[in-house]
Structures are given as structure tokens and as C-alpha cells.
Amino acid sequence: MKKQLSKKSIISKSWLGFLIIILLVTGIFFRFVNIDKEIYWPDEVYSSLRISGYMQSEMNEQLSNGRLLSIEDLQKYQYPNHEKNTIDTIKGIILEDSQILPLYILLTRFWVEWFGNSVAVTRSFSAFISLLTFPCLYWLCQELFKSSLIGWIAIALVAVSPIHVVYAQEARSYSLWIVAILISSLALLRAMRLKTKVSWCIYTATLVLGFYTHIFFTFVALAQGIYVVAIERFRFSKTLISYLLSSFAGFMTFVPWLWIIITYPQPEAVIWANPKQTLFASAARWAGIFSRTFFDLGISPNDPGKLKIALIPFILIILAIISYSIYVLCRRTSKEVWLFVLTLIGSVGLPLLIVDFVFQKRYATSRYTLPSVLGIQLAVSYLFTTKITSIYTKIWQKKFWSLVAVIVIMGGFISCTVHSQAQMWWNKLPERHQEYPKIANIISQGNKPLLISDLNEESIIISIQMFGHLVDPKVRFQIVEPNKLPEITNGFTDIFLFKPSDFLKAGIEKIYNSKLQQINDLLWKITKST
């Protein structure tokens, strides 16, 4: 009887291992497939601008003088070239984007210089870095839970986690931030266990990596400090002293950039979070953020209400699983384990929660709550592993939790499949940019098309740069300063106006004896008067 049970256990473990390998390969595939299909939205345009080494002020001045522009003229400010070097890249970040930490931008610049100029190459660095999530996550589970099986289950969940795939295909620092969080967490636990100088030095190095990857890593570092102090019971033990020395050394390396942030503040970078929202809107927003960890069909604010209502049962089930996993973790694991996971979840999540619900802001976004997502995935991985493999779990319970785990993984697989075919996703702000691919298609259909705009908004040139990644190379552009009219040369068969001011529209109609045909809220076409 025991031999039969042992044989069944071996078979089930082999099948589980095979399934996890399949999920891992699938997750890698989803991170690279159609990586250049989605619209290159403003945040990514800014990343590329920083990579190029040019400043936004330079780009605005040189592109808005009314001359005809080609795709190559626009892409000069999107990719590295011989005119600007690494020093210029750092200078641009300091003066115009100090809240954007430089490590990701510099690494991506080297990546693009090595592999070539394209959206796919720029985004592929994030996808490549995201692959480091798997070994780091496995090693962290080994250190935290002393279980390789929990590590493999965590890898399976993260492999097809839609939120990880979304940010693995974005030219921003979030994939690198995830890796920095995992490495730092692993290094801390290892240093606390080994208590050697080398292990604490390694932890210091991971702090430097995190500090120069994302500004919110400071919250993660603070949460790690709370964890160490709590585990050491507020006593100045050797471990606490070693931690304080390592943290101080790591933080001191960040002080120069902290001084830069204070000296060159960029308050306009978070204007988007200023509008107030109701408590109900905040609750719905947070529910959506956490549910995207396991299930995401790309629903955005401008989608029909019926579609959002249909997702409520799925969201409630996911939230119930998350809540129960945290409960089980706290009941069945030691303080060293559950406190670590809770501090990781609360590191960024708790401050943002307070800001959202107390001050009625909307700082909480999926990209900022990634540390909380990682903590949740650790808790759920522990739940599934213990419920499925524990000898104290009844057979029907094992079957039930196996079914739940399969459903969760299938939800992630379906989400990633839908995402892989989409040109627009919620993280690209479709409520603002939904029409851009359609406009690009309309313009590109012309024989010799020209797109004209004026600087009636600060974001106009960024929008034109977005079109530079969408339209056919034959399209030409012309951008004029406010209250000025363009000199339209002959030879263009189709002339369009994008977000024109009233002055530009009236001037075009009067001076060029033309009429304007409105195609949509953003685009007009010049037609001859009859």
C-alpha cells in the first residue's frame, strides 16, 4: 500500500514538474510575442527621449519651427545617436526627469546601441530582465519557506501572471524594479541567516540596485527595516547592528541622487494623481489592481459598464483567494515568514492606501503596487502548495484546491493570450489614446500625406512622436508655434490637422482658401473650397 502511494506521489510530482515547465516556457513566450504591437504611449516616448540623450526642451525647439519633418527626424529624439552620449542622457534625467532613476535608462541605452533602433528592441530589454524574476523568485521561496515546491508553484503563477507580462513588454523600469525587490529580499533573508560580512555587503549592493531603479524602492527598504527590527524584538543585536550599517551604507550611495531630486523637483510628473475620487472609486480601483495579478482582460475606464459588472464575480473570487491565503499564511507559518510577506505587501501598498482613502487621491496604480503583488503571489503560492500536498489535507480538499489552482492559472493564461493580440491595453490609457491607431491608419492611406499641428498643448510633440511609431514612413509632419501658420508646400495629396487650435483652423481656411472636414475629435482633413 505504501509503495503504491509512493509511486502515485512520484507520478503526480513528475506531472506537476512537467506542467510547471510548460507554464514557464509559455510565460517566456508571452513576454516576447508581438512585443511591438501595442501602441508606444507617452511614458515610453519619454523613456526613449531620455535614452537618446536629448532634452525635451531641445526636442520641442527643433521640431516646432515649421519645417517639414520625416520619421527619421522624429526618431532622432527616440534612439541613441552620435550627437549625444551617456553623459547627455544623465544630464537630461537630472534636469527634466529627476524622479526617474537612471539605472534602467542607462542599461536600456546600452542595449539599444548594441541591438539596434526599434520599438521591439527597446521593449525587449524589459522582457529580458523580467526573465530574471524566475530564478530570483525560486531562490527567495527556498530561503523564506525552505521549500522548492513552493518556489516552483510561485514560478508557475508569475509565469502567466498578466501584470508581470504587461510590464515585461513596456519600456519602463518596472521589470527591473521587480527583480531588484526580489534580489534585495533574498539577500536580506540570507544575511540574517548566515550573519557574515560578505552576506551583508551583498545586501548593501542590492539596496544600491533598488534605490537607483525606482523611487518607491525606499518604501521597500523601509519595510525591510521594520521586519528586521520586529524579528530582533527591538534589541540591538548583532543582526540589527549589521542591518543598520548595511542600510546606512546603501542609503548614503543614494544621497547624491536624493539631493538631485530636491534640487531639480518635477512636481508636474504626478499631476495626473491630483484629481480627487470617491471612496467607492478608490475601492473599485484597488480591487481592480489586485485582481489583475491573476486575471486581466484589458478592461479600461472607457469600456461599457456591463463589461465591468460581468467581471465583478471573478474579482470577488480572486480577492477571496488572496484574503484566505494571507490568513492561512499567518496561521500556519512562523513569525519570520508571515511578517516578511506582510511587510512586503504593505511596503508600498499601505502608504498608497492611506493617500487614496484619507486624502482621496488616486496615486494607486498597478505599476506602483508591484511589491504588494509579489507579496500576494508568495502567499497564494504557499496556500496552493500546502493545500494540495499536505498529508493533513483531505482528498476532496486536495482535489478542490487543485481545481482552484488550475482555474487561477488558466485565468492568467487566457489573460496573457488576449493581451498578446491587443494593440491597446489599459496601461496605455485607452481613454486618451484609443483613436491614435485609427488616425495613423487614416493618414498612412494617403499617397503623399502631411500631418500638421501647432503647439496649443504641451503634449503635442509627444503625440506626434507616438505617430512616428505608428504611421507609414512616407508620412511627413509639420509643427508650428502657437499663433503661427505653416507654409504648406505643393506635392502633398492628403493634408491633415491634428488637434488644431481655433487659430490654425481659421487661418488654414482663410489663407489657403480651403475647407476643413472633421474626421473625429482629434483629426481634420483639408479639402479644396468649391
CB 52 within 8 A of CB 46: no
Please report whether residue 54 resides in a domain.
no
Strand ordering across the sheet containing 68-69: 68-69, 476-480, 449-454, 494-498, 523-528, 514-518
Best CA proximity match to 217, nearest among 238, 242, 247, 262: 247
Domain stop point among 397, 428, 459: 428
Long-range CB pairs of 444-449 (<8 Å, 24+ gap) are 444/471, 444/472, 444/474, 444/475, 445/494, 446/475, 446/493, 446/494, 447/493, 447/494, 448/474, 448/476, 448/491, 448/492, 448/493, 448/494, 449/474, 449/475, 449/476, 449/492, 449/493, 449/494, 449/495, 449/496
- Same-domain check for residues 137 and 29: yes
- Same-domain check for residues 235 and 353: yes
Q: From residue 68, give the alpha-carbon distance in Å to each of 124, 268, 429, 481, 497.
A: 32, 31, 29, 14, 14
- DSSP of 181-193, one letter per residue? HHHHHHHHHHHHH
- Same-domain check for residues 202 and 346: yes
Please report whether residue 421 resides in a domain.
yes
- Same-domain check for residues 415 and 460: no
Domain stop point among 385, 406, 428: 428
Please report whether residue 277 resides in a domain.
yes
- Same-domain check for residues 260 and 207: yes
Domain stop point among 398, 428, 458: 428
Residues, the chain: 530
- Same-domain check for residues 453 and 370: no
Q: From residue 10, give the alpha-carbon distance in Å to each of 6, 14, 15, 17.
A: 6, 6, 9, 10
Torsion angle, CA of 270/276/277/278, rounded to 10 degrees? 150
- Same-domain check for residues 134 and 16: yes
Please report whether residue 58 resides in a domain.
no
Cα three-residue angle 137-140-145, rounded to 5 degrees: 120
Q: Which residues are 454's β-sheet partners?
A: 480
pLDDT at 273: 64
Please report whether residue 93 resides in a domain.
no
pLDDT at 311: 87
Alpha-helical runs (H) found in 97-216: 102-115, 119-130, 133-145, 148-159, 162-168, 174-194, 197-211
314 phi, psi to nearest 5 deg: -65, -40
CB 421 within 8 A of CB 34: yes
Query: Using alpha carbons only, how large is the chain's radius of gyration in Å?
Result: 26
CB 113 within 8 A of CB 106: no
Mean pLDDT by 10 residues, the chain (530 residues): 42 74 96 95 96 94 92 95 94 93 96 95 98 97 95 96 97 97 98 96 98 96 97 93 97 96 80 73 87 91 77 93 97 96 96 86 86 98 92 86 94 96 92 93 94 88 95 95 88 92 91 88 83
Please report whether residue 341 resides in a domain.
yes
- Same-domain check for residues 247 and 156: yes
- Same-domain check for residues 238 and 375: yes
CB 526 within 8 A of CB 505: no
Q: Which residues are 480's β-sheet partners?
A: 454
Q: How far apart are CA 228 and CA 240, in angstroms?
A: 7
- Same-domain check for residues 519 and 376: no
Q: Which domain holds residue 506?
A: 435-528
Please report whether residue 110 resides in a domain.
no
pLDDT at 529: 62
Rounded-to-5 percentages of helix, strand, coil across the chain: 65, 5, 30
- Same-domain check for residues 182 and 222: yes
- Same-domain check for residues 424 and 475: no
Q: How far apart are CA 301 and CA 144, in angstroms?
A: 38
Overall number of domains in the chain:
2
337 phi, psi to nearest 5 deg: -85, -60
Please report whether residue 247 resides in a domain.
yes
pLDDT at 10: 43
